[in-house]
Amino acid sequence: MRRSSRKEREQGLSRLGKARVAVIGDFCLDVYWQADMTKSELSRETPHFPLPIVGERMSPGGAGNVVMNLLALEPRSVAAVGVFGDDWRGAALRNLLRKAGADVSGVVVDSTRVTNAYIKPLRKGFADTVIYEDPRLDFTNYSALSVGSERRLLAALDRAAAAADVLCVCDQMPFGCITEKVRRRIVELGRAGMTVVADSRDRIGLYTDVIVKPNEIEAARVFDGAIPSADFAALAVALEKRTGRPAIVTCGEKGCYVSEGGSATHVPAVKVTGEIDFCGAGDTFLSALAASLGGGSALVEAATIACAASSVTIRKLRTTGTASRAEIADVRQ
């Protein structure tokens, strides 16, 4: 088990300002529509009470949340690489990322695609403290990326990688932008010596020559259950052997296991009491890990900072929050 001192963590955090990070993957727009049902009247045209929207907020999700978490760490630069639709959601997402400080020149706009979005209608008015969430409205793609957009995305990836110290891969959607050719190029970058950290919901087993960061369930799927999901150390070691690069298996409140050189090191999670919200914790871990590696931290040290960063965001309830350097420095392990 590896625990870091406050001094070690502060030294690691001080190096984050040197990191140049590129993020490629499936960007989403999270939209929250607040409806005040006390203002609703029965429709004259339909037998329904409409949702009177009195508030709207938007934030980047998916790979966009990784970018926002990176920006909170104040690295030297953060570049976004992905494919957006030519729609209002894509325009809003690009604007949010640009205003936050990300380089969005690597975003490919494709009029045949939709921008991934999760829209959550929230009803209020039944009681002062009650918020009722309607079924989510999802915008996503159900066909493969076109050859032309794939070619443009590969060119954008090469430009961003040439200007970065570390590449984050957020491979989440069944028909997202990480196609076989794009994944092959990511693997080539890792094989050529670039630091690449890949996170994938369903395809982590297809990555080699890069650092992979699955959770224990995603890691166990790679081996078809031959290694139990509860055997975190064995999973990490097996993944390192499979990929040819160090591997990290995250395991929630137990922290993570880092396999490097054929043996696994346990990095414990920070103990957190009270109500917590795990939404976005994996994105925070990935961003802090990548920024730390880009700043020159060793892998176990980077994982320790990432665990501390995640402990900050899970305390931020009902929002996909971020963790600043100061907040991470204040964490007591």
Q: Where are the domains of the chain?
A: 6-28+61-115+141-329
Interacting residues of 145 by C-beta distance below 8 A, sequence separation 6+: 83, 110, 113, 153, 175, 176, 177, 179
List the one residue out of 245, 232, 230 whose CA is nearest residue 198.
Answer: 245
Main-chain phi, psi angles of 218, to 5 degrees: -60, -40
DSSP letter, residue 87: S
Alpha helices in the chain (DSSP H): 6-14, 63-72, 88-100, 147-162, 180-191, 216-222, 232-243, 281-294, 299-313, 325-329
Binned average pLDDT, 10 residues per bin, the chain of 333 residues: 64 90 98 93 93 95 96 97 98 98 98 97 80 93 98 98 98 97 98 98 97 97 94 97 98 95 95 78 94 95 94 80 89 75
Q: How far apart are CA 117 and CA 107, in angstroms?
A: 16
For the segment 112-159, what is each residue's pLDDT rounded down to a tens digit? Answer: 999 999 999 999 887 667 888 899 999 999 999 999 999 999 999 999
Q: How far apart are CA 198 and CA 169, in angstroms?
A: 5
Q: How far apart are CA 297 and CA 16, in angstroms?
A: 9
Give me the half-sphere count of Cα atoms (radius 13 Å) on the Cβ side of residue 162: 7
Which pLDDT belongs to residue 10?
74
Which pLDDT belongs to residue 128?
65
Which CATH number among 2.60.120.380, 3.40.640.10, 3.40.1190.20, 3.40.50.720 corresponds to the domain 6-28+61-115+141-329? 3.40.1190.20
Coil, strand or helix at 32: strand
Which pLDDT belongs to residue 17?
92
Give residue 161's Cα distance to chain centre.
Answer: 18
Give residue 262's Cα distance to chain centre.
Answer: 27
Taking each helix axis as running N to C, give the angle between helix 299-313 and helix 6-14, from 0 to 180 degrees, rounded to the nearest 10. Answer: 100
Q: How far apart are CA 81 and CA 63, in angstroms?
A: 9
Interacting residues of 109 by C-beta distance below 8 A, sequence separation 6+: 83, 84, 85, 86, 90
Which pLDDT belongs to residue 5?
58
Which pLDDT belongs to residue 332?
75
Q: Is 244 left (phi over 0), alpha (psi -120 to 50) or beta?
A: left
For the segment 312-326, what is each residue's pLDDT rounded down to a tens digit? Answer: 998 877 677 898 998
